[in-house]
């Protein structure tokens, strides 16, 4: 049942990776310097944002997911700022603090909403052995709390070969998926990741390191070395290429958008695709949604995330504008907490009573699904002289009613089988039924839903009219 498909939705996605502080210093130009032909800038406002793996976790949290972050930082003002930002966003974390570690900062000087230059204050400092062991022990102890793992590698020293291998091993042993955003040229470090998601440059680096040409045969060798399910390669405005073993490749185009700021777009992609895949959305649709989300991110300022409302709108638009089967729609709608309602009927000879029922039902839910009896089903219930209107005509008429989001046909005598697959939040029925008599009543109420009886208009009945 669909409820089980989403059973781990409240578990954390564990994010392992380097974190840093993104600072955006907005400025105004005062004059051109008399010393050199460069502008003299006046600082206006300094904006602190989460960067690196912390931004990945923030992207998951902002769209309604739950993330837990593990990383390392120094014992300084920057680390305290990062921890406060994480706490403010209610992102759980375990930060290994050591004064010998670096707290990386990427400071961007912004003038008139455009980046003027970037200053990186960071050092490569390898994670200490005692901290590696501490993290692995922590993951083992808490593995039941985690839904899946993201490796967010920025090559700042946190993700050592020992940590990567052992963290992946724990998740693999517990049959939980691993998603990797790689930086190291040695792809074998990420062995047993389910999905490896490099950009095009990082993908080519794998071949350079292995001294291989970029061919189908070489790609097959990379699969043999990693045991991955797929390589998901982002190519900027050219879209995304998905490589599978045995030579299969799927290219997914990117929608043209006006790019404002690409900062953090890679973090958005790995965060959202991991969240969708972790919640049993298939790979290709997860990629399409994540790509569309990134298209929204690059139109925003600075290191941005989607709000939950924005993500909900993306999901609604995706379901409306693409050929999406009913069960996938249901899964996506539930993921963004849209209230799903179901009603059913023959709708043979449509009348005002039907319209009243549908209108009142839609007022109580976000998405209304009508389960429509097939011609065969109507004959089982009403006799051989029904329906008056054949199925195609009834569908055509119902599609004209704005309150209906989905029309789904059922062949059986009752819609119970369909209801069990959908498991709506609310089941609607007219007042000629008692609540406990409604088909699917026990099923819905046992799964946390409810049945709502809608008072019918008097003297309106298809049976009476015919």
Classify residue 416 as exposed, middle or buried by CB count within 10 Å of its CB (0-12, 13-18, 19+): middle
**Is 134 designated active site?**
no
The CA distance from 24 to 35, in Å, is: 26
Q: Which two tokens stand for residue 27?
A: 């400025």
Identify the three-state secondary structure at position 269: helix
Residue 290 CB contacts under 8 Å (≥ 6 apart), including other chains: 268, 269, 272, 273, 276
The CA distance from 444 to 421, in Å, is: 11
Cβ pair 109, 57 in contact under 8 A: no
Residue 258 neighbours by CB distance under 10 Å: 7
Per the listing, tokens 């029904």 go with 386
- Of 12, 181, 261, 267, catalytic: 267
Question: What stretches of 374-440 show up as alpha helix (H) in DSSP?
Answer: 375-382, 391-398, 416-422
Classify residue 104 as exposed, middle or buried by CB count within 10 Å of its CB (0-12, 13-18, 19+): buried
Using alpha carbons, list the distances in angstroms from residue 120 to 33, 56, 58, 323: 24, 19, 21, 45
Q: How would you classify the pairing of strands 240-243 and 249-252?
A: antiparallel
Cβ pair 53, 82 in contact under 8 A: no
Largest CA distance in the chain: 95
Per the listing, tokens 């020293």 go with 157
Q: Which two tokens stand for residue 82?
A: 């990062």
Handedness of CA 144, 147, 227, 15 (dihedral sign): negative
Using alpha carbons, list the distances in angstroms from residue 298 to 40, 260, 303, 306, 341: 28, 6, 9, 11, 35
Per the listing, tokens 């050199």 go with 36
DSSP string across 189-202: GGTT-SEE--BHHH
Per the listing, tokens 């204050």 go with 121
The CA distance from 113 to 296, in Å, is: 17
Q: Return the percent helix, strand and coil in the chain, to nearest 5.
A: 40, 25, 35
> Would you name the residues annotated as active-site residues?
267
């Amino acid at each position: 049942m669909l409820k089980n498909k989403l059973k781990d939705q409240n578990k954390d996605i564990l994010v392992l990776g380097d974190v840093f502080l993104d600072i955006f210093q907005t400025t105004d130009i005062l004059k051109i310097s008399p010393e050199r032909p460069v502008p003299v800038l006046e600082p206006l406002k300094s904006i602190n944002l989460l960067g690196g793996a912390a931004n990945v976790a923030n992207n998951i949290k902002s769209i309604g997911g739950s993330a837990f972050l593990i990383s390392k930082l120094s014992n300084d003002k920057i680390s305290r700022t990062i921890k406060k930002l994480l706490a403010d966003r209610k992102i759980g974390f375990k930060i290994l603090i050591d004064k010998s570690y670096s707290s990386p900062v990427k400071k961007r000087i912004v003038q008139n909403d455009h980046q003027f230059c970037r200053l990186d204050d960071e050092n490569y400092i390898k994670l200490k052995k005692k901290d590696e062991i501490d993290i692995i022990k922590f993951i083992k102890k808490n593995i039941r709390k985690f839904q899946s793992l993201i490796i967010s590698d920025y090559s700042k020293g946190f993700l050592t070969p020992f940590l990567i291998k052992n963290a992946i091993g724990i998740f693999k042993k517990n049959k939980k998926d691993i998603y990797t955003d790689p930086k190291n040229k040695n792809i074998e470090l990420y062995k047993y990741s389910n999905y490896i998601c490099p950009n095009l440059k990082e993908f080519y680096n794998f071949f350079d390191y292995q001294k291989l040409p970029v061919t189908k045969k070489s790609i097959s060798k990379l699969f043999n070395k990693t045991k991955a399910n797929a390589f998901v390669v982002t190519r900027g405005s050219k879209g995304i290429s998905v490589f599978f073993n045995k030579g299969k490749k799927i290219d997914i185009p990117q929608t043209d958008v006006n790019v404002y700021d690409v900062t953090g777009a890679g973090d958005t992609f790995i965060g959202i695709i991991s969240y969708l895949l972790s919640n049993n959305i298939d790979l290709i649709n997860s990629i399409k949604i994540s790509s569309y989300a990134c298209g929204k991110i690059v139109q925003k300022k600075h290191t941005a995330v989607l709000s939950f409302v924005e993500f909900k709108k993306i999901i609604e638009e995706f379901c409306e504008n693409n050929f999406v089967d009913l069960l996938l729609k249901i899964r996506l709608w539930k993921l963004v907490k849209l209230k799903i309602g179901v009603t059913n009927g023959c709708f043979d000879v449509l009348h005002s009573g039907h319209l009243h029922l549908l209108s009142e039902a839609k007022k109580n839910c976000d998405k209304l699904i009508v389960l429509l009896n097939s011609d065969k089903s109507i004959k089982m219930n009403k006799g051989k002289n029904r329906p008056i209107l054949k199925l195609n005509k009834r569908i055509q008429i119902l599609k004209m009613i704005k309150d209906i989001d989905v029309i789904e046909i059922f062949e059986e005598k009752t819609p119970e089988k369909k209801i069990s697959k959908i498991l709506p939040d609310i089941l609607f029925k007219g007042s000629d039924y008692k609540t406990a008599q409604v088909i699917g009543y026990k099923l819905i109420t046992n799964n946390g839903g409810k049945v709502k009886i809608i008072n019918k208009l008097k003297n309106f009945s298809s049976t009476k009219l015919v």
